[in-house]
Homo-oligomer: A and B are copies of this chain.
Amino acid sequence: MSTSEFSIIKEFFTVESADGFPPVVGVGDDCAILDVPANKQLAVSADTLVEGVHFLPNSNPELLGQKVLAVNLSDLAAMGATPAWVSLAITMPAIDKAWLSSFSKGFFSLANKHQLHLIGGDTTRGPLSITINIMGLLPTKKRLLRSGAQVGDQIFVSGSIGSAGLGLKKASSGGTDLSDADISAYLNPISRVDLGQCLLNVATSCIDISDGLSADLNHILKASGVGATLIHEKLPVTMSVRNHCKEIDDELWPYATGDDYELCFTLPKNMRIDALDGLTPDCVTKIGEIEEVIGLRIKMPDGKQVELNKGFDHFYVD
């Protein structure tokens, strides 16, 4: 094979743009050089996606290119940060130019939408996996943490819950039709970057729901030293997720499915969600309240309460 790592990076991943925050030095040297504007802090997150664990074998590379970036944008969204720079490490069994071209197309379609600059790349030989390191900017001392939830705060989620989990089931059985909302939620998730920025001055805590609502809300509860009760009837689920829960006779299923990439956040007790600037209120739903008693409880329609302290964990999966 005659294509070297260096030329792969150059061929597929050198795109220059004047939008956003162009790097001082971009792809192609030992390091990229970046200028962080005055009065800004840097938000940084890294995520790895492995074939067969985080995405299905033989996934459509264009959708995969979008999704690996969306997953990482979701971490910036959960912090309230503005996307700025990203680096991309691809490990693949052998160079497949058609695959790289398609992956790159999907990746840049989303990167360009967010004025995100690719600042570095590494291509290595091995089983297919992708690690992204994403960097965003925050006004100094402003950020959305997991640790600020207060007793009495209202708990919200964006979008609907469980759709990506159901989409994974459908895609695992060969489903690829993106007009199916569940399959689309799994293969082509939206990251809530605008919502995160809009919450920056008002939310007391925030997390993105990558490992399931119960697991991720539990991170907020633990970091904040509080508990919560959710009202099961308030949980936003689509009709198809509702039907799936009936089929498998498990009403609590949506709380533990991964890959939603929606935001879960808390607002002070009396704050009205429809009064927030820049927010489309119908994309968020109030689902419960923060309480003093630790643990996560779900209040079911029959008045019973269940404790729910587990979620999706990539190391649980067989």
Contacts and interface: CB of A to CB of B under 8 A. Distances in A.
Tell which of A24, A140, A146, A147 has the most Cβ of chain B within 10 Å: A24
Given A46-B120, A122-B46, A313-B5, A79 B30 contact: yes
* Copies of this protein in the complex: 2
B87 A125 contact: no
Contacts of A35: 41-42, 140
A1 B316 CA distance: 6
A136 B31 CA distance: 9
A78 interface: yes
A42 B44 contact: no
A38 B38 contact: yes
| Interface size, A (range) | 35 or more
A34 B30 contact: no
Complex A-B, nearest 8 residue pairs according to Cβ-Cβ distance, in ascending order: A50-B126, A30-B78, A131-B131, A133-B133, A31-B43, A36-B36, A34-B42, A31-B45
Interface of A: 1, 3-6, 24-25, 28-36, 38, 41-54, 75-76, 78-79, 81, 85, 87-89, 91, 94-95, 119-127, 129, 131, 133, 135-136, 138, 140, 143-147, 206-208, 211, 215, 219, 223, 313-317
